[in-house]
């Protein structure tokens, strides 16, 4: 999807809600919204719940696509969505801002949330939460057909206690949202490609700016600026490091000045246009020919990525994928990346496939399905080594294999 698709302005008129307002969407967003809500209800039916209560702002976005200060609202229980299996979808918003949800086909009713979280209510929370619980219980009574089972993704104990006092049976809701989000429609894949186009434009800005003396933070800012300018929303992490800070992995970017000859590794974790995540990683050498050790590390990381992509097929179990993936040499095993392959959509999501060595303690089973978008991970660094290489590629699982969604070139010249 060309960048113009996320920058277009047509007649100065809003074409959709949220961060991409005034731009022309490359697909029918209402079709995407209806598909996502249908996916949730299919999973609800399988779990035999009459209602689904969502406080996680990624899940509320998935359910109704109405946004309101998503990051801020993720700090507090200040905004949620109630989904009936066979009834209305109700948005409980932070305050009385109904215009933020106008025209959304997925929202049947707009209410203001009775603020029971401590910042909003202080010592009044125990009283106010009873009002909230009464509204949810009433919705289940009127639309649940006698079913009192309510799935919840995340809620504090005072909220759960108040709902149980109303006679509701609470069920873990993340199993609904994570598995629903895992399989994308063809329209979702177009939106994810629009996000990836913006992400890769940001990476080009980064690579053009990479020179000795620039700080890690200043380099990382190039990705942020491009994302926001082209309609993206935020970046989930600050995973960029240089030189000796690249090994072991997971140091966040700093004011360190990047030096000539340093290896620079980063992980985008970018929430781009339409709220979709682009999660890829690359490694570059700053202003100098790579050393033999940099070449060796990069070659191993690249080999791991390519090998593991070749393994993926729809219908495989997660256990089978883990078992068949590239065996990590012993010298890199202690610094292996925490995840082998994981799903991605509105954020990192189900499934999370663990390395075979970790499977007995951390692995779980499931199926690779056509329509999943997966991120194939690699980190290669030795115990006590100066530098490490972080690579990651984003692929779409099809009925016949996989297609790459990310196209930013690997630095083959390093190898």
Query: Where is 394: in which H helix or E strand?
Result: strand 389-397
Q: Which two tokens stand for residue 19?
A: 């961060």
Determine contact, residues 177/40, Cβ cutoff 8 Å.
Answer: yes
- Angstrom CA distances, 145 to 50, 91, 169, 318, stand at 8, 21, 14, 37
Task: Kindly tell me if the per-residue pLDDT of 12 is higher than 80.
Answer: no
Task: Kindly tell me if the per-residue pLDDT of 386 is higher than 50.
Answer: yes
Residue 12 φ/ψ, nearest 5 degrees: 65, 20
Q: Which residues contact 213 (CB under 8 A, 6 or more apart)?
A: 257, 258
The whole-angstrom separation of Cα 350 and Cα 43 is 14
The SS3 assignment for 336 reads coil
| pLDDT, average across residues 191-200 | 98
pLDDT value for 22: 76
Domain range 186-404, its CATH number among 3.90.230.10, 3.40.50.300, 3.40.980.10, 3.90.1560.10: 3.90.230.10
Q: Which residues contact 119 (CB under 8 A, 6 or more apart)?
A: 76
Instruction: Return the closest-CA partner of residue 59 out of 97, 129, 106, 19.
Output: 106
Does domain 3-181 fall into CATH 3.40.350.10? yes
What are the boundaries of each domain within the chain? 3-181, 186-404
The whole-angstrom separation of Cα 262 and Cα 244 is 8
Determine contact, residues 34/106, Cβ cutoff 8 Å.
Answer: yes
Q: How confident is the model at residue 366 (pLDDT cuts 50, 70, 90)?
A: very high
Task: Kindly tell me if the per-residue pLDDT of 298 is higher than 90.
Answer: yes
Question: Which ranges in 281-351 belong to alpha helices (H)?
Answer: 292-311, 318-324, 330-333
Is there a shared CATH topology between the 3-181 domain and the 186-404 domain?
Answer: no
Q: How confident is the model at residue 14 (pLDDT cuts 50, 70, 90)?
A: very low
Crossing angle for the helix pair 174-181 and 29-47, nearest 10 degrees? 140
Q: Which two tokens stand for residue 90?
A: 């109700």
pLDDT value for 282: 98
The whole-angstrom separation of Cα 192 and Cα 343 is 13
Percentage of the chain exceeding pLDDT 90: 93
Determine contact, residues 290/264, Cβ cutoff 8 Å.
Answer: no
């Amino acid at each position: 999807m060309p960048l113009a698709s996320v920058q277009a302005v047509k007649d100065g008129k809003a074409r959709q809600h949220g961060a991409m307002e005034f731009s022309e969407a490359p697909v029918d967003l209402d079709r995407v919204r209806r598909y996502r809500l249908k996916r949730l209800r299919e999973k609800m039916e399988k779990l035999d719940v009459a209602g689904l209560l969502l406080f996680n702002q990624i899940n509320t976005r998935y359910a109704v696509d109405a946004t309101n200060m998503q990051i801020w609202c993720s700090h507090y229980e200040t905004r949620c969505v109630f989904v009936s299996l066979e009834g209305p979808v109700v948005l409980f918003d932070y305050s009385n801002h109904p215009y933020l949800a106008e025209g959304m086909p997925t929202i049947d009713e707009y209410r203001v949330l009775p603020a029971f979280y401590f910042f909003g209510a202080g010592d009044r929370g125990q009283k106010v939460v009873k009002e909230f619980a009464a509204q949810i219980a009433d919705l289940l009574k009127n639309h649940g057909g006698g079913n009192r089972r309510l799935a919840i993704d995340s809620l504090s104990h005072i909220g759960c206690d108040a709902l149980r006092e109303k006679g509701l049976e609470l069920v873990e809701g993340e199993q609904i949202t994570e598995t629903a989000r895992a399989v994308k429609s063809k329209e979702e894949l177009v939106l994810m490609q629009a996000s990836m186009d913006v992400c890769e434009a940001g990476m080009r800005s980064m690579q053009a700016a990479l020179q000795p003396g620039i700080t890690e933070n200043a380099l990382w800012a190039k990705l942020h600026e491009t994302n926001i300018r082209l309609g993206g929303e935020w970046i989930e992490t600050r995973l960029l490091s240089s030189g000796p800070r690249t090994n072991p992995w997971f140091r966040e970017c700093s004011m360190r000045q990047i030096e000539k000859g340093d290896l620079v590794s980063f992980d985008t974790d970018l929430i781009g246009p339409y709220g979709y995540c682009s999660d890829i990683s690359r490694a570059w050498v700053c202003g100098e020919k790579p050393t033999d050790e940099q070449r060796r590390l990069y070659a191993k990381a690249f080999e791991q990525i390519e090998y593991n992509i070749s393994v993926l097929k729809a219908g495989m179990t997660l256990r089978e994928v883990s078992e068949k993936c590239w065996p990590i040499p012993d010298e890199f095993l202690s610094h292996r990346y925490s995840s082998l392959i994981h799903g991605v959509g509105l954020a990192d999501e189900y499934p999370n496939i663990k390395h075979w060595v970790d499977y007995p303690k951390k692995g779980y089973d499931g199926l690779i399905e056509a329509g999943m978008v997966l991120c194939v991970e690699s980190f290669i660094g030795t115990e006590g080594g100066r530098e490490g290489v972080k690579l990651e590629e984003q692929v779409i699982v099809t009925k016949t294999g996989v297609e790459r969604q990310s196209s930013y070139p690997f630095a083959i010249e390093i190898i």
